[in-house]
Amino acid sequence: MAENTLSGRIIKSTGGLYTVEAKDGGIYECRAKGAFKIEKLTPLTGDNVKFTAFEDKSGFITDIEDRKNAFVRPAVANVDTFIIVAASAKPEPDLYILDKLTAVAKFNNTDVLLLINKCDIKNADALKSIYLNAGIDTVCLSAANIDENKEIFEKIREKIKGKTCFFSGASGVGKTSILNALYPGFELETGEISKKISRGKHTTRVSTLYKVDENTYIGDTPGFSLVDVVNYNMLTLDGLLTSFPDIEKYAKNCLYSDCTHLCEDGCSVMEAQKQGKIEKTRHESYVKLYGELKKVKPWDK
């Protein structure tokens, strides 16, 4: 059979079978070379790869390009932006989960776009200001009023353009509604995939990238909503402070050089928080996450 070496990107992976989109748009069902196992390297959705392509559209992955970042669960690589969706109400926003997600993003070199949905039922200016003050790109919207929100959706499409993005956020906040409003052509596909995912047993292993245009991909994976930060090594205690840049900024003049910025005397972070320079809820999340990460023993990893 005639064969050819091509470059492409893994857009879906399921149990050792990888769907690779070649640069020319061709779709190939690939296996990976056995040597990756010896190197303890697993191809991931989002990986840029070289592969041997056969006429029957099957293939064999031979090389994986260096990654910008990689996540164990969901198993994805080269993510540019987490699109974190919250609702102003129904369900009530859980700030700890939002802060965990922003920290995981920062730790893994990923940008954040926070979308506060359902602003038709409750004003979210206070919530928005917390995140803007924390340096996070935040947009209020309502996926229930697509016409009134036309310009906002256009702005979001512009922010996403050219990036590989994953949606995350609790169930019911409006992720699917926002996706359908942003990209109406995806309606059927998104629904079908969601159904497939909820049916299978090994579903959290499946992650899929949808191509919006030449360089824009949207990820569909249930895993980012769960944020089991501790068990999936998404963040470490050592990396916690730099994962909260709004807090780290004030951590330079503490009295003790080993200050943990939780509650110590002479802590410049505590001082900044009292003065309102650091959002109270952000610091509370930092403290709570510190406690969670502290419990992780090296032998648990």
Please give the residue ranges that form the binding site for ligand GDP (CB under 6 A): 117-118, 120-121, 142-144, 171-177
Least separation in angstroms between residue 95's CB and Zn ion is: 22
Min dist. Cβ of residue 248 to Zn ion (A): 10
Answer yes or no: are the C-beta atoms of 74 and 221 closer than 8 Å: yes
- With CB under 5 to 8 Å by kind, the binding choice for 121 among Zn ion, Mg ion, ligand GDP, none is ligand GDP
Contacts of 125 (CB under 8 A, 6+ apart): 140
Residue 269 found at the interface with Zn ion (CB under 5 A): yes
Cβ-based nearer residue to Mg ion, 166 or 244: 166
Residue 117 touches Mg ion, criterion: CB under 5 A:
no
With CB under 5 to 8 Å by kind, the binding choice for 283 among ligand GDP, Mg ion, Zn ion, none is none
Alpha-carbon distance of 283 to 296, in angstroms, equals 20
Q: Which is nearer to ligand GDP, 75 or 86 (CB)?
A: 86
208 forms part of the interface with Mg ion (CB under 5 A): no
Provide, rounded to whole angstroms, the least separation between the CB of residue 222 and ligand GDP.
10
Nearest one of 1, 2, 168 to 97, comparing CA atoms? 168
Q: In sequence order, what are the beta bridge partners of 14?
A: 17
254 belongs to the binding site for Zn ion (CB under 5 A): yes
Among 13, 19, 81, 176, binds Mg ion (CB under 5 A): 176
Query: What is the C-alpha separation between 141 and 158, in angstroms, rounded?
Result: 15
Residue 64 binding partner per list Mg ion, ligand GDP, Zn ion, none, with a CB distance cut-off of 5 to 8 Å that depends on partner kind: none
Binding partner of residue 261 among Mg ion, Zn ion, ligand GDP, none, CB cut-off 5 to 8 Å per kind? Zn ion
Q: Which does 120 bind (CB under 5 to 8 A by kind): ligand GDP, Zn ion, Mg ion, none?
A: ligand GDP
Question: From the CB of 267, what's the least distance to Zn ion, in Å?
Answer: 3
95 vs 197, beta carbon nearer ligand GDP? 197
Q: How far is the CB of 168 from ligand GDP (least distance, A)?
A: 10
- Check binding of 272 to Zn ion (CB under 5 A): no
Our CB check for Mg ion shows the closer of 64 and 143 to be: 143
Q: Which pair of tokens denotes residue 55?
A: 């006429």
With binding defined as CB under 5 A, does residue 267 bind Zn ion? yes
Residue 27 neighbours by CB distance under 10 Å: 13
Least CB distance to ligand GDP at residue 99 (A): 19
The distance of closest approach from Cβ of residue 78 to Mg ion in the complex, given in angstroms and rounded to an integer, is: 23
Interacting residue ranges for Mg ion, rule: CB under 5 A: 175-176
Interacting residue ranges for Zn ion, rule: CB under 5 A: 254, 259, 261, 267, 269
